[in-house]
Structure formats: structure tokens, C-alpha cells
Structure 1
Amino acid sequence: MPEQTADSPAHSAGEGGASAANREAFERRGLRQGGRGTPGPPDTAVKILGRVWSAPLIVGPLSAPARPGGELAVVRAAGAAQLPCVVGAFAERTFAELGSATDVPPWLRTYAFRDHATGRQLAARAEDAGFGAVLLALGSRDDVRLKVAAPANLAQVGPWSDVRDVRDLLDARADWADVDRLRAATTLPLLVAGVRTATDAQRAVDSGADGIVVTSLDALPGIAETVAGRCPVLLSGGIRRGADVLTAVASGADAVFAGRPVLHGLRAGGRAGVAEVLDVLVRELGDAMTFTGTATVADIGPGLVRTGPRPADAAPPPVARPLRRTELHASVSDPVLDTMTFLNEITTRYPEAISFAPGRPYDGFFDSEQIFTHLRRYLNHLEEQGSSPRQVRTAMYQYGPTAGLIREIIADSLRADENIDVPAESIVVTVGAQEAMLLVLRALITGPDDVLLVSSPCYVGITGAARLLDVAVTPVEEREDGVSCADLEAAIRNERARGRRPRAFYVVPDHSNPSGTTMGPQARTELLELAARHGILILEDSPYRLVSPGPPLPTLKSQDRAHTVVHLGSFSKTVFPGARVGFVIADQPVVGASGRTGLLADDLAKIKSMVTVNTSSLSQAAVAGTLLAADGKVSELNKAASAYYGDAMRATLRELDAHLPAERREALGVRWNEPTGGFFLTLRVPFRADNAALIRSAQDFGVIWTPMTYFHPGGGGLHGIRLSTSYLTPAQIKEGAARLVRFIESESARTT
């Protein structure tokens, strides 16, 4: 990590090695296990400088952003965690912006300026902006490595916009006279950093300091004893985990600075990365308190810490041989498996961007309390069916049958809502539709000559599952109106001519992911006839039909008279994705060696028993309660959602048309389809819509989308963009479409 992105009071005190020394000191200490303590989770909250914080943690300081917008991201993440954040005098944002970004006042880390008026005016502006404290470090300012000053705050207190090296503005060292001047210049609480001895601590208190920052864990107990509670004692340097925080508090600190972990989180994931780091530190502190038997931070004392030998005195740890990627299954190196990871990384890296990437339901339709209502409804159902209290308890707490607890309820819902009439025994309840795909492919594909045909572009989940199982995939490219049965038949004949056996064809017939196309009535009939004629199965995956406006076309399964359709179902879009409940209808007869006939579902359940054992009983109960409350009519349950998603799709199309009228998009070579439902639509653009373009779009224009290359298993889609409209509000759609069009205009100009 570049040095200029890290700052700490330890550096400020001319103690560049303080962090390393403290790490060694932490490694020599351990925690003593205590009693069970009081029931419930420990309370990590503390009150320092008149404010209650969620934990004894101070975020920062940051002398410069680790990435564009990083300073504001850290301040907001710290505020959300109810923790103070220290920002530098050379912040990229104004104090007013930083002070108004959160309800937890930030602190100012300042310096000894040659022009004393500069220091006074910066402190005054921080006070006006609502900052909570000001921090000055004694000693050298060798830590200041910024070559170019960000003029956001300096420009407001003097003619500093042309300064090329901020060190020209600073004294070589900060001394007690600087502390006195700063104390006289501000009414904010003053923290003095760089305190290394008991004498320094006493001098700081006598100078009116409201807190001191110690740079050595070893010196901390003696300094804390000298201060004797007259002001907070803070430790800087070496904090990496929650146990370190408890060790520091047990050694006399009231709180600690968390700098480097926060910067790592910022660089890895932006604001979300910082939030995750802070959450982990607080949770680890709670775990350490539980281990030591302490209920509150005030209960933490020196008796909880034991001291062991220096790490150098201990036997060297064994050296493990790293695994080589070439020793792992080839699928882990397949780009298909990286697609979701990359999109998540982009989303967390640019948290302020509007994202058309996630194909998930809108959060506004969920109410946390509904889950309890759904669970109670299912428990009542079990009792109404004659289950004893013991049987109800077993149904909830035990593993449950591999094929699923709620097959009858799903079968009733399918009859009521989809006109799919199948026995409950033909259904296997799965962990989302993704597991259903994995089970079906594992059962059907028996060797290297078996082939899975897919409508392309296609959902990455099916191609990813095929890659994991070493299943050969042959794409059948869609036309403008979807897949053509003539093209599919040609692909089947071609595979057989090569000596391979087409086993199944995967398709999303309704508002498909990613293209948004819907298969017409005639094409559905032709597909069923083709499958029966050629002896292949159709894997029908249709999760968007019951969250789309208007009456849907009949499913392939509802018209299946020859048992050629394996229907993959999911409640992720229609109930809620967190349940992770899907199902597969596999009513195909399977004849054994003895001549006995069973169902394909029976064999899928056998495979499932070796994969996930069973689907969560609680998740099944929540879904079942929802279905029971709606009398199986998922379409009725989703009336409001379907209308919302339909409005979102139409709004996106209107905004695109408004910003790119027909004449302009024809000149650019841009076009898009107009789905009547579902979550997705696709754009054709004149430039390469690859990962590099996506990064430029997120970074420079604040809008995220999905490259269509992810969805073409045979290659292609280089000029395609997938937009998901489901997760956005009308205001986000309006602004997001404007940003997207600006990106398209800019990118088109780059390629001409």
C-alpha cells in the first residue's frame, strides 16, 4: 500500500516503528479465559469526550485518500458504525462536507504551521463545521508525504492553491508551544499525540489537553497510571483485530486508533469495505469479551492479559506448501466463475454509482415481521393436519426429508397458479434453482460424449454448473425474437453427426435472463414436438413469469404430455431470495435394471443427499406459509410487485428513448429490445462493452451494468450491455439512464 495513504499519530510523533513494535508487543500478550459472565452479548459501548461510541475505536487518521472519494467513504462508514473518524488538515473535501456527512462529528488531525494563523483558522473552520475534537502530534512531521496539497480547506484560509509541497507550510517539529497555541485557538477538545513517557503525559494534562495518544503498548500501563483518569488515554499503532483492542483497554487505554485495517478495507471495497472491517473489529472485540467473561468495556482490567515469550524465543512455525492453482479443478480458473465476484467488486468499489447490474427483487416489498407471520402460518398448518407438538418441533429443528417438507404445498400451488398438474412425489425441493440445475446435470450427463444445449445468450448459473461438472455445452444462438426451433434441430443433428449425444436443452421461455425475450405460443408448441421427436429433455427455467405484468403464456411444463420437460422453479423472485428455496419437477419415468419404474425425482433426491442433505426446514416453512396465505396463488401475491417491475421496465425504456431519440441512436449504432416484463433488457452499442469499459463507466460516469460477454458460452456479446431494472427506484432509473447515455456517447466518441 502506498505510504502516502497511511497516517497515524505514531508516525506523527516520529515513531515510524511504533506499529511494528506494538505488533510484537501484542504477540507477546494473550487473553485469559474468564467465567461465563452475564447472559446475552457483551456491551462494547463506551463514553469518551462526552459522546457514546459503539466501541472503543477511533477510525483513522487519514492524511490522504487511498482512492478517489475515499475520505468521505471512510467518514460515512465510521458514522454509520457510530465511531469517530479522524481526517487530516489536507483533506480532499472541505470540512463542511465532511462534518455534514454523518451525525458523528469527525476529528481534525492538524500540524504545526509556520504561519500560526493558518493553524488557528483551520481549527476554527473545523469547529464551525461541527467537528468533535482536534488532534496535534508532538515531534517530527516526517510523516507528511503529500507532494501536492489538496486546496479544499487551505484555499479557504490563505493563498495556498499554488503550493506544490505542503511541507513548505509546516514547522519541522511540533512542540509544547504549538500545543499551547492550539489550546488557546479552539474550544474543541484537544488531543495530544506522540506521548511516550509519564512526563509527557503529565505535561499534556497541565497544558489543558482533553486526551492523550500513546504510541507504545509497553509504556501504556505506566502512562495510564500517571494520568489516573483525568483524561482519556488512547493507543495508536498495531491494532489488527478485536483481541488487540481488548488487550489495549486492559493495559490502560480508553480507546484505540484503527488505521491500517481501515485503509485495507477502503482499498479493497470502498465504503462497504471499511464498514466490513469496522463490523469485524467490533464483533471480534465482543468475542474477546465473551472469552474473558466481561460484560462491559468497564469490566476489562489488567488481570485479563497474560504475557508470554517474545515471538523470536518461540519455535518457528512450520512452513506450509501453498497449493497451486494447476492442482485444482480447471473450473476455478474459468472466467465464468469470476463474473459475479467481479460485479460485486465493482459495486463495492463505487458505492455511489447507480447499478443496473443486480437482477434481484426490489427491497421495498419486504417486511421483516412478515417472516414470523409466514412461519406461524405453516406451523398452524401442521397442527391442522394433525401433527403433534413433538412432530411440529421435529419438522422445524431436524434435517427433514431430502426431497423436501413442502412438496404437497408446492404441488397445490402449481395446480392453482400454473395449471401444472404433477404428483408431489415428482418434486424435489432444492437450495434455490441453482442446486436444481446441478442435480439435473449430474443425473443426465453420463460421459464426455453427452452434451447440454443452451439457448445463448444464457444465464451464467447453468453454464457455471456445467463447467463444475465437466459437461460439454453447445450454444444455440437466439435470434431477435428468441431461439429458433430450426436452429435447435440443426444443432442436434450436428452434434449427433459428431458422435455426441444431445441430452437436454436449457431455455428461459419467459422474459429471459439476460436478453429479456419471451418465446411465443407457436414456438413453445414446436419446441415440445421437437423434444419428443428427438428424444431430448427440455430444462425449463422461468423465474420471472409471475413477477411480470399481464397474463403469462402457459409454461412448457403445463403443456408437456410426453414427459419431456424438467421444470426448474424458484421462489427467490416471487417470495424472497433470502429463503434460498427452489424446486425441480422431474416426473420422467426411470426404469431400473429389475424392470421397476420410478421417477427421475427419486434419483435427484439421492444426489441431493450427498450434496446439501436437505433444504433448510425454516426456509421451507417461511415459503410454505406464504403460499398457504395466498391459497397457492403466487401471481396474486405478486400483483403489486409485478406492477412495480412493469413500471420500472417502461420507465427505463422511456428514459433511454428520451436521451437517445431514434435518429441519434441510429447515428451512433445503438439499439435495444423492449421486453414486456421481467427484470432485463439488452442494448447493442458500437464499442466493446467489456470489463474495462465497465470500470470506466462506474468510475467516470457513476453507472454500472453487466457485459453481455458473460452470457455467451460460445463467445460473442462484445457489443452488448444487460440492464436490470428491478432493483431501482424511479429516481434512480431517471438519473441512471442519463448517466448511461452520457457514457455511451463518450465511449462511442472514443472509438470513432
Structure 2
Amino acid sequence: MTGPRVATAADVRLELRAADLCAALSDPVIESATFLNEISSRHPTAISLAAGRPYDGFFDPGQITGLVDEYVRHLRDEGLDDAAVTRHLFQYGRTAGHIHELVARTVANDTGLVVDPASVVVVTGAQEGMFITARALCAGPDDVLLVPTPCYIGMLGAASLLDITVVGVPEGPGGLRPADVAATAARVRAAGRTPRALYVVPNFANPSGHTMSAPDRAALLAVAREQRLILVEDDPYGFLAAPEDRLPALKALDTTGHVVHIGTFAKTCFPGARVGYVIADQTVRTGDGRRTLLADQLGLIRSMITVNTSAIAQAVIGGMLVRSGCRLDTVNRDRIRFYRDNMRHLLDRLTAEFPPDRRADHGVSWHAPAGGFFVVLDLPFPADEELLARSAADYQVLWTPMSYFYAGGGGSHQLRLACSALPPEQITEGVRRLARLVRDRNATAGPDHVAASAAANQTAAAAAADRGGTP
């Protein structure tokens, strides 16, 4: 009979140190999404004013098979035989995607933006589009990506993973200001670095909700030409504007090749397909003197990452485009109305809970977007993860701390509310719960502290706007 086995070095499992892994994995920007997901999973019955996703009521699993069939009929109408259709659906396929022609037709019909299908790269969600575009444009250690402050967390996370230096351009009361972009680019250049690109969401920006005016769009294009900047235009929410209020995309105004346009079918079709696109029609001269498109270069990058976008996912989206006659504006009328009504309802409920004549007493304020998914609420106390955890546990309502959207610190007394994923009655109840949290927190602090904190926040914001800095 033998005794117990003695452990040896061969039995000790390898343990990795976080310090030996990619530094971006400990970036608060990337960790923030994980924290929000954990809070949501721990409190599944809480009303989420944090989720900026489409409304589930618009989706029907039974549609998916029919959409694939619609796309297969389209392929056969285009002259493909059964063997070619099979390869089209089951094999890897074209790296830049195989619904690029349908995408180009849809963009032209819905936005008036006429592009060569060869300049369209179909990507695995707009997030991959941001990643490969940033990787292509920012090649050296001195290259800088300018971003609005606050900025969509996905772009900040992509830049962090790519080790690209990000410099913020603070938004003013009406959003990103072209003069501030020019001044920031000039400062970066004076410091011996190269401002390569500016990431911008011109319509109902995430998280601020701001929409860039027509004069500012023209001025920003002029700044791009003067400062030799590429504008990386991300436009997931432009379709939400009423047709009579819709402003042209920056890419539609671009006559000199200074705009790369990123689009997505996450909001107009559904996010689970993970299908987006990049329009990159800039000419690139290669080392051997050949000329190609930036789209081709982006295709080379993604061939080493995702190889190509799921053929089945493209077939589903392609079927939706074919069925709609490549006019998503028409089929999205009910969604557009729903999201616009939800935004009005959210703003109305905030006003009901915090009437104008009592708002200063609560130390609360907000900007009222004309549409989109998001509203930013200013508070007289920190809206941090500790308060979010308490909000979820004690008040059963979730929201997003605005500090997540500031790469260099900021937004500590702000939170983002999303109104897209909920029916109106849940928005009403969610705002009621949030208002109770605000009143309880203020009661604990006392009226003098509330007034002083609110005044300090307003002073800091005004000073930052004047100097082009961050509060």
C-alpha cells in the first residue's frame, strides 16, 4: 500500500500576472463595460436606463429564415447557380464582404450619399470598423487620434488596445466645435506629434446626444483640409431624425476625400447580426507606385483579424435590404416614431420629476436632444460606481456613469440615461426611481451642500468651455 502522492512542480498550474498582459486590459474604459454587465446580471429585475440598445419588440425570430430565402432568390436573380449560391453562403467569401453593392444602393437611397461599391468594406459590426480604421490611419508612435470629450467608449477602448495616443476635444454646450478641433490639432502638431484623424459622431452623439449643425459640419470639413485630418464619421443614429430635419452626412459633403464613413445595421435592422460597413474611397499609393483604395487596405487588416464577416449574417441583412428595395427609411418608420416618442417621453418625465422652478433646489440639469437614444443628467454629487451599485440594489434602476466616456478624467457628476430599449411605462417608472434616489441623496447632503455643489459644477463647466478644456 502506497502513501499519499506528493505534489511536484509538474502539478502547479501556471498563474499569469496581469502586469505581463496587454496594459489596455486594466484600462478603466475597458473594465467599465464589465462592471455594468455585472451590476445588470446581479439585479435582473432592475429597470435599465443604461442600455442603449434597440427595442426587443421590433424583432421576430421567425423572420430570419425568410430573409435568408429572400437573399438566396436575389443571388439566383443575379445569375448564380446552385453551386455558387452554396459557396456564397457556406464558404469564407470576399474579405471586404459580399453585400457591398446592396449597401451602396441603400446608402444612396436613404442618405443621398453616392459611393462606388468597391469602397465599401462590410465589417463585423461598426466596432470592427473603428478598430481597423484607427489601426490603418495611426501607424507610428507620434500619430494622435483626436476624439470628442466625452467620447463613445468603443472608440476609446479600440484606441487603448491599439496603443494609440488619444487627445480629447471638449464638447461645448452645442457639441463639438470646429474651432476647438483646429486649436487642438495645432497644439498637437506644435508638440511634435501628428494629429492623424478625428473621430466624430455628428448625429445624436453617444453619449452626449448632441447633433452637429449644418454650418459646423461645413466648418469641420474646412478644418480637416487645413489641418490635414481624416474625419472618421460614425453615424449609427442619423436615421432617427425626421426626414425634414435630417442633415447630410459629413461624407456626403466631402469633396476632397477627408472623410471615412462608418455605418451599422445594428439600429436599422438588428444588432445580433453584427454587420456594419466602412466607406473608405481614399486613394492610397503603394510603395511600388500602384494606386489602390483605402478600403482595400482595411480589407488586408481584417483578413488577419476576423477574415470576413459571417456569410449567414450578411445574408440576413442582405435579405432585409432586398426586401425593402434598399430603402430602410421606409421600413423603419415605426422604429423612428417609437424612438422619437421615447425621447420626448423621457424628457417629459424628467421635467415632471424636476420642474423648472424646483430644478435648482435639486441641483439637477440636462440638455434636451432633438432625438437619438441618450440624455446626460448633471448632478450635485458624484455619479460613480458606488452610487450605481446602490441605485441598482436599493432603487432598482440602472444608468451609466459619464466618467466611463472620459479618457483623461471628467464627468464625475454626470450620468447617461438611455431610452431606446424600454416601453414608455418603464421609462416613467425608471425616472421615478431615479428621482427618488436623487432626492434621498440630496436630503442626506443638505440643501447648502446641494446648492454649492451645483454652482461649482456649473462654474467648472463654463470655465472649461471658455478655455477649451475639461472640467
Match of 1:319 in 2: 12
Aligned positions of 1:27-426 closer than 5 A: 318-426=11-119
Match of 1:571 in 2: 265
TM-score by length of 1: 0.58
1:739 aligns with 2:433: yes
The one-character-per-residue Cα deviations of 1:518-548 (angstroms, maximum 9, x if unpaired) are 0000000101111012111000001011134
Q: Which residue of the other structure, out of 487, 497, 503, is the alignment partner of 2:190?
A: 497
The one-character-per-residue Cα deviations of 1:622-653 (angstroms, maximum 9, x if unpaired) are 00110111111111121101100111111111
Q: Which residue of the other structure, out of 141, 144, 152, is the alignment partner of 1:459?
A: 152
Aligned length: 444
Compare the two structures and name the one with the higher helix fraction.
2
Structure 1 residue 493: deviation in Å? 0.6
1:521 aligns with 2:195: no
User: What's the RMSD between the two structures over aligned residues?
Assistant: 1.6
Asked if the contact 1:352–1:702 (Cα under 8 Å) also holds between the matched residues in 2, the reply is yes
Q: Which residue of the other structure, out of 165, 176, 187, is the alignment partner of 1:472?
A: 165
Match of 1:439 in 2: 132
Match of 2:174 in 1: 481
The one-character-per-residue Cα deviations of 1:719-752 (angstroms, maximum 9, x if unpaired) are 1110000001111011111001011111223333
Asked if the contact 2:111–2:249 (Cα under 8 Å) also holds between the matched residues in 1, the reply is yes
> In 1, distance between residues paired with 2:395 and 2:234?
35
Asked if the contact 2:47–2:426 (Cα under 8 Å) also holds between the matched residues in 1, the reply is yes
Residue 74 of structure 2 aligns to a residue in which SS?
Answer: helix
Asked if the contact 2:208–2:376 (Cα under 8 Å) also holds between the matched residues in 1, the reply is yes
The one-character-per-residue Cα deviations of 1:52-92 (angstroms, maximum 9, x if unpaired) are xxxxxxxxxxxxxxxxxxxxxxxxxxxxxxxxxxxxxxxxx
TM-score by length of 2: 0.92
The one-character-per-residue Cα deviations of 1:472-515 (angstroms, maximum 9, x if unpaired) are 00000001100111111100110011000000000100001001
Match of 1:112 in 2: none
Match of 1:689 in 2: 383
1:594 aligns with 2:288: yes
Structure 1 residue 550: deviation in Å? 4.4
> In 1, distance between residues paired with 2:3 and 2:347?
63
Unaligned runs of 5+ in 1: 1-308
Asked if the contact 1:436–1:583 (Cα under 8 Å) also holds between the matched residues in 2, the reply is yes
> In 2, distance between residues paired with 1:696 and 1:549?
38
Structure 1 residue 446: deviation in Å? 1.4
Match of 1:176 in 2: none
Residue 568 of structure 1 aligns to a residue in which SS?
Answer: strand
Q: Which amino acid is the alignment partner of residue 730 of structure 1?
A: P
> In 1, distance between residues paired with 2:124 and 2:115?
21
Residue 662 of structure 1 aligns to a residue in which SS?
Answer: coil
The one-character-per-residue Cα deviations of 1:82-115 (angstroms, maximum 9, x if unpaired) are xxxxxxxxxxxxxxxxxxxxxxxxxxxxxxxxxx
1:680 aligns with 2:370: no
Q: Which residue of the other structure, out of 242, 252, 256, is the alignment partner of 1:558?
A: 252
Q: Which amino acid is the alignment partner of residue 516 of structure 1?
A: G
The one-character-per-residue Cα deviations of 1:342-398 (angstroms, maximum 9, x if unpaired) are 111111111221110111000000011111111111100000000000000010010
Asked if the contact 1:503–1:537 (Cα under 8 Å) also holds between the matched residues in 2, the reply is yes
Q: Relative to 1, partners in 2 of residues 1:543 and 1:310: Cα closer, same or farther, differing over 3 Å?
A: farther
Match of 2:459 in 1: none
> In 2, distance between residues paired with 1:746 and 1:455?
33
> In 2, distance between residues paired with 1:604 and 1:749?
54
Q: Which residue of the other structure, out of 300, 312, 326, is the alignment partner of 1:618?
A: 312
Q: Relative to 1, partners in 2 of residues 1:561 and 1:704: Cα closer, same or farther, differing over 3 Å?
A: same
The one of the two structures with greater contact order (alpha-carbon pairs below 8 A, sep at least 6) is 2
Asked if the contact 1:571–1:582 (Cα under 8 Å) also holds between the matched residues in 2, the reply is yes
> In 1, distance between residues paired with 2:331 and 2:166?
37
Aligned positions of 1:619-634 closer than 5 A: 619-634=313-328
Structure 1 residue 612: deviation in Å? 0.4
Q: Which amino acid is the alignment partner of residue 401 of structure 1?
A: R
Structure 1 residue 311: deviation in Å? 12
Task: State, as a whole percentage, how many aligned pairs show the same letter.
Answer: 47
Asked if the contact 2:354–2:362 (Cα under 8 Å) also holds between the matched residues in 1, the reply is no
Q: Relative to 1, partners in 2 of residues 1:314 and 1:370: Cα closer, same or farther, differing over 3 Å?
A: farther
Match of 2:460 in 1: none
1:605 aligns with 2:299: yes
> In 2, distance between residues paired with 1:433 and 1:314?
54
Considering only CA atoms, is the larger Rg found in Structure 1 or Structure 2?
A: 1
Q: Which amino acid is the alignment partner of residue 637 of structure 1?
A: V
Residue 663 of structure 1 aligns to a residue in which SS?
Answer: coil
Q: Which amino acid is the alignment partner of residue 84 of structure 2?
A: Q
